Amino acid sequence: MSRKYQGLELSYRLQLLPICQDELLRSWIMRNALFLNMKPSQLSTIIFQNTDIWKSDIDTQLSAKSIESLLSAVEIKKEDLDNTLISLNCNYFYPHLNDSKQIKWVLSIGVHQRDQKSSIQYCPLCISTDQVPYFRTYWRFGFLTSCQIHNICFLDKCYSCGISIDLVRYDKKNSEHFKQVDCLKCSQCSFDLRNAPKIRPHYYELKANQEHFNLLIKGYGSVGNLNFNYSHIYYDGFKRIMSFLLCSKNGVEMFNYIIDINNLDKNFVDNRSLVRRHSEPEHLSLDMRRVSIIFSYYVMKDWPISFIKICKEFGITKRFIYSPHLDYPFWLKKVLDLELA
């Protein structure tokens, strides 16, 4: 099959660097483009025959036509491609794609979402010790905030200039050629992301992340004192609790209480005041999500005792948390109906 790009006819499939097992599709295309001394947007145009596709979220939403174009343009096994697409591997945390085009829990990193606070998370130790550094699929999930391998906090901003990590735009600066390590540098100030500080998470944050990651990998497991045969049942309920704590005006006092009893940074309180009502938790900053992760461990370790106690202490009843337009899993709905009615 022949393909044309800017007058050049390609009569062969491209031989690219292999994709890693848990690598984001965007990361793979980016690595190969820099290896070939091209902008990632140029390589994606060759592969997909679409000049705008690099601006979209190719990790989550890739049409059947685009998949077919990729498979015909590049030497890659279909099962390897299927394994890296989040839309084909989200049943364990969001099996409701028929209800919404948006995959809940996935952080935004596309060009059109650059004005939002979300960014790609990364572990500085992972990319420092990788033989071939790359960005993982699970770094895009909002219910994870620390690395399960190295037990350090994820980062989502440049330690030097504070800008969000950008996997979209790469421009040649003082060098005539791209280098593969360019993907590990801040797009704004060229700070090497591997040199960022390695921060230990709060104990509750670490334990909750371990439980969340096990659920993500296995599709079942335990969180606190509850067992879940289907992991998405936990994630559905946690998202409702997280939305109340981080996005509802009625959750402010409870949020401040969690900050105080865990000796967290007081700046979190100021950041909480900037959250817009009805925001999606996965669109919030890493710091905000970190507080909810800590809270999840606090209430799940003896569910529902601590949850009921803290709700009653601040006068939180079912009507503050419950929305008739949303579904609630049985483990959460039972407590709301019987204990907080």
281: exposed, middle or buried (C-beta count within 10 Å: 0-12, 13-18, 19+)? Answer: buried
Q: Are 227 and 211 in contact (CB under 8 A)?
A: no
For residue 42, give both structure tokens.
Answer: 């140029």
pLDDT tier at 268, thresholds 50, 70, 90: confident
Secondary structure string (H, E, C) spanning 43-105: HHHHHHCCCCHHHCCCCCCCCHHHHHHHHHHECCCHHHHHHHCHHHCCCCCCCCCCCCCCCCC
| pTM for this prediction | 0.92
Q: How far apart are CA 28 and CA 44, in angstroms?
A: 11
pLDDT score at 277: 76
**What is the per-residue pLDDT across 128-146, written as a single tens digit (0 to 9) for each?**
999 999 999 999 999 999 9
Q: Which region among 74-88, 99-113, 313-327 has the lowest average model confidence (pLDDT)?
A: 99-113
Farthest-apart Cα atoms in the chain, separation: 70
Q: Are 59 and 27 in contact (CB under 8 A)?
A: no
Compute CA distances 193 → 142, 161, 322, whole Å.
20, 11, 41
pLDDT score at 11: 55
Q: Are 206 and 148 in contact (CB under 8 A)?
A: no
